[in-house]
A and B are shown apart, each in its own frame.
Chain A
Amino acid sequence: MTTLTVNGVDHRLDLDDARVTLLDALRDRLGLTGTKKGCDQGACGACTVMADGKRILSCLTLAAQCEGREIITIEGLGVDGVLHPMQEAFVRHDAFQCGYCTSGQIMSAVCLLAEGRAGSDADIREFMSGNLCRCGAYPNIVAAIREVAGAGGGHA
């Protein structure tokens, strides 16, 4: 049995197969399908979640390695049904189209602020470049992050 702590809740998981990634555990075993799979190869950022406050690619992380780590997913970002400022800004700036990259972009953006790397548009662009958006919403993603960074960043 492995215990995964996700969004503040402990889940006891019978990981019968050592190959199960954190991404598949979240999606298939815990029903948290907000975290997306775009490549399963660490190349797109769609699966980005927070582990102990840092952004990680959940497709490159085995679930069995996550015992004792504090995992936050997109479902755990808002508090009591109120959107996180970054989520709000993404809606207002239309920082997505199909929405498939969005969970990963938002998790990455929230961590970006915590990393102190959202000081300039150039920094935002550079340090958000691990999150692909095939719909091409990049300018609006930058605008959303810029706005939240300017307002002091919101809670992480």
Chain B
Amino acid sequence: MTILERPRHVGPGVDRVDGPQKVTGAARYPNDFSHPDMAHAALVRATIAAGRVARLDTGAAESAPGVLAVLTHLNAPRLATGPSALLATPPPPLRDDRILYYGQYVAVVVADTPERASAAARRIEVGYEPAEPLLDIHDPRAERLPDPWGSDASWGDTRAALDDAHVVIEASYTTAENTNNPLGLFSTLAEWDGDTLTVHDSTQWPTRVRATLAQMFGVPEAGVRVLVLYVGGGFGAGLRVWPHVILTAMAARQTGRPVKLVMTRPEMFTGIGHRPATVQHIRIGATRDGRLTAIEHESRSTVAIEGDNIEPCATVSTAAYACPNVTAHDEQVRLNIPWTNSMRAPGEAQGNFVLESAIDELSHALGIDPLELRLRNYAEVHPRSGLPWSSKALRECYEVGAERFGWSRRVPEPGSMREGDWLVGYGMAGISYFWYQAPCQARATVRGDGTAYVRSAVTDIGTGTYTIMTQLAAELLGLEQDRVTFGLGDTSMPPGPQAGGSGLTAALGSAVHAACRNLVRAFLDAAAADPASPLAGCDLDDVAVTGGRVHRVGEPERGESYAGILAMRGLDELSADGDSTPRTPQEAGMAPAGPFGARFVEVRVDPELGRLSVARVVSAIDGGRILNEKLARSQIIGGTVGGIGMAMFEDTVSDPGTGRIANATLGDYLVPVNADIPDMDVSFVGGPDAFNPIGVKGVGEIGLVGMAAAIANAVFHATGKRIRSVPITIDRLLL
């Protein structure tokens, strides 16, 4: 099959196939589902960060109107533990009297209406025996986990190289705790029928929810069905099976009623993970002419007691530049905080801020343009493995971005550019994002009416999976796009991985590719049963598909339509499965590349008031083959908004004594609003990647990365002030 021999690098900007559903309010999110017999759950959260529950008075709640059940550690059923692999499921809720973080659930109330459930929840009285919580990332008593993911790296002799370097840049940086805050309130609706369970859930990983519920409740996985047609964002928050999901299923089982739980916004700050705070230290050595000789990058991030979290920050410095001596070390400290978890570009977001700020510091110290300094240290091969990249167009990112931005107009001296009363700053950052891909399965069907149905149990969290997979399947099957439907969000479909790690498009696209190829092969086999068929004796490589027909390459008239083949054989439809498992770099003989990018930012700073705003953002991204330019651009824009949030606004503030989050509402936790965001220029450069058969790389996270550094570098250029902590708030600018 030859259809992908010359794939277009940038696919057409097709409108979202689910657009009409979303603009009419017809798209149904997990909390839009209901059941006539449904009861409602409300949560009670701990108001201390460490200690134990000493006393529980649930009498008033139990006798409140409409209340069906009150579950606490005293009466909740004991559950098995969930999966502990990658993004472990937190321990079963309500298992004992210990409190490990502020906001931990101590009870769940079930009532006939949501108002009655939450009113009753407020009548539960909890007495605590508090212990002294560990809340400070610098607390020497906190347990430290060195190299938690085995990602530490060291090559060459970094110490000696730093001693010998002509110039050394050394600095410490901090990044604040951020909270994912998808706009959709996470919700679960659980309904049992004997040992079978149907769940609507706000998740990015329905197959993991199914496996977890089956394991924890001790029921067969085949009897658990998880549905998520639409989800109101996630940004990583939906990558774990959180305790509220388990509690909803538990409440439904205990009451014998379908139970719905809609989290409150304050609960979304403690119950579904957050981006950990980091402190990082970096030393960079270079020659006078700007050759990097050493990078030493150390990072510490936070993790909950009994939690896990993947947050490699220092690792960023092992993949970005050609450098003979590199040491990268990550560690975590355990604190009495709510679970830390992936938030769009985990580790990369914070690690890139440090590396790309330090490179800017170096460029200033050396008097070399920041862009030129990056080009002088361009990593032609993967710096750690030495393997050639499966694709890399970072140089084009720099060139195209600089050109579109007008980087050459930058006057190097800090504080030298002005517009009226405002100081103007130009800043940039480069990005070499990591690669990730998990195994995936998909199934494709072509029916007698010439329509196709392709599906996999994955999610579309707003990234455009529905649309780009429809486009891809249409291309692979030679059908018009409106003849193809892509289904997802239902665990009765073939299993797929999480929408995370910027890895879904490659994993799913490869599985769809395999399924469609297998389906065309099945049609060839069916046709070959008739020796008179023009396709008899054809192999996959001998045919192409166009206009709903399979035909010999270059001979459109020598072929048969799908409908014709089905009719001849008396079949209603034909289906085929496909799966994808990525090769290892060694097998492929190349370093699988994530996306690359360059960001160019213009900021304005009011020197009197310290007000900071972003005037322009230019992004040039190498995302491999772009299936849909319009949607990929949206991913970059959306990520950029998140990056502006990280750089300028977002900071989850906890009370240092109690661990209570002081700004757990959308009024108090600042996120960018429309007025904070300028127009943006986004370009896609490069070409298809060689590591997967469809040539794509994920662009869901890279848009966030580099913004913190580019903005901080622009602030330095505008003011001469180097801000090494994000968010860059007025107080930090006015010092």
Contact = CB atoms under 8 A, between A and B. Distances in A.
Contact of B641 (A35, A46, A75, A136): A136
Nearest to A17: B115
A97 B235 CA distance: 12
Interface in B611-653: 630-631, 633-635, 637-642
At the interface, is chain A mostly helix, strand, loop or mixed? loop
Contacts of B674: 124-126, 128-129, 131, 133, 138, 141-142
B638 A38 contact: no
B262 interface: yes
Interface size class of A (residues with CB under 8 A): 35 or more
A103 B677 contact: no
B427 to A, nearest CB: 20
Interface in A12-30: 17, 19-20, 24, 27-28
B231 interface: yes
B463 interface: yes
Given A19-B115, A136-B672, A97 B23 contact: no
Nearest to A90: B23
B183 A74 contact: no
A80 B12 CA distance: 31
Contacts of B637: 136-140
A17 B31 CA distance: 21
A134 B265 CA distance: 13
A98 B114 contact: no
A129 B462 contact: no
A9 interface: no
Contacts of B181: 134
Nearest to A144: B23
Interface in A66-95: 73-75, 77-78, 83, 87-88, 90-92, 94
A91 B115 contact: no
Contacts of A75: 24-25
Contacts of A35: 25
Contacts of A136: 637-642, 672, 677
Nearest to A131: B674
B666 A33 contact: no
Contacts, number: 180
Interface in B500-558: none
A41 B22 contact: no
B191 to A, nearest CB: 17
B29 interface: yes
A140 B23 CA distance: 14
Given A33-B32, A37-B262, A17 B641 contact: no
Contacts of B182: 98, 100, 134
Contact of B677 (A83, A91, A98, A138): A138
Interface in B82-117: 113-116
A100 B233 contact: yes
A98 B183 contact: yes
Contacts of B77: none
B680 interface: yes
B677 A139 contact: yes
Contacts of A43: 265, 665-667
B153 to A, nearest CB: 33
A27 B185 CA distance: 14
23 contacts: A28-B34, A34-B25, A39-B265, A40-B264, A41-B265, A43-B665, A44-B666, A73-B25, A74-B24, A77-B24, A78-B24, A88-B23, A94-B19, A96-B19, A98-B462, A100-B29, A101-B183, A102-B23, A129-B673, A133-B183, A134-B235, A138-B637, A138-B641
Given A97-B464, A103-B25, A134-B671, 13 more contacts: A37-B262, A78-B24, A94-B630, A94-B634, A96-B22, A98-B462, A101-B183, A132-B673, A134-B183, A136-B640, A136-B672, A138-B677, A139-B679
Interface of A: 17, 19-20, 24, 27-28, 32-44, 46, 73-75, 77-78, 83, 87-88, 90-92, 94, 96-103, 106, 121, 124-126, 128-142
